[in-house]
Amino acid sequence: EAGVVQSPRYKIIEKKQPVAFWCNPISGHNTLYWYRQNLGQGPELLIRYENEEAVDDSQLPKDRFSAERLKGVDSTLKIQPAELGDSAVYLCASSLGLAGTYEQYFGPGTRLTVT
């Protein structure tokens, strides 16, 4: 069974440029998460989807970040415009249901460097 797929793996952009990350969850997983992991820190949740619906986006900086999960499968996370402080690893994860009950499977992440 294929795991969570993310692309690109690495991205270097100049500040004020836009950037997008793509995630394909494990087939059949209704719940999809986007996390940001700063250097030396644990992952922090940005947004959680249940199918197409964003059910928790309280930590998403909505002035510059946006996300979508059309058709309840793939998801895209966008930053526009990027700032220096956005440099981090962006992780996507998926699960069958509630994270406490079901295991979350993580993708390899996209390492973003903003110069």
Partner 1 sequence: AQKVTQAQTEISVVEKEDVTLDCVYETRDTTYYLFWYKQPPSGELVFLIRRNSFDEQNEISGRYSWNFQKSTSSFNFTITASQVVDSAVYFCALFSLNRDDKIIFGKGTRLHILP
Which positions lie near partner 1, rule CB under 8 A? 3, 31, 40-45, 48, 55-56, 58, 89, 91, 93, 98-100, 103-109, 111
CB of 63 to partner 1, least distance (A): 21
CB atoms within 10 A of CB 85: 10
Shortest spacing between CB 16 and partner 1, in angstroms: 27
Give the integer Cα–Cα distance in Å for 5 and 58: 25
Chain CA centroid to CA 90, Å: 5
Query: Which residue's CB is nearer to partner 1, number 79 or number 90?
Result: 90
Question: Coil, helix or strand for 90?
Answer: strand
**Least distance in Å: CB of 92 to partner 1?**
10
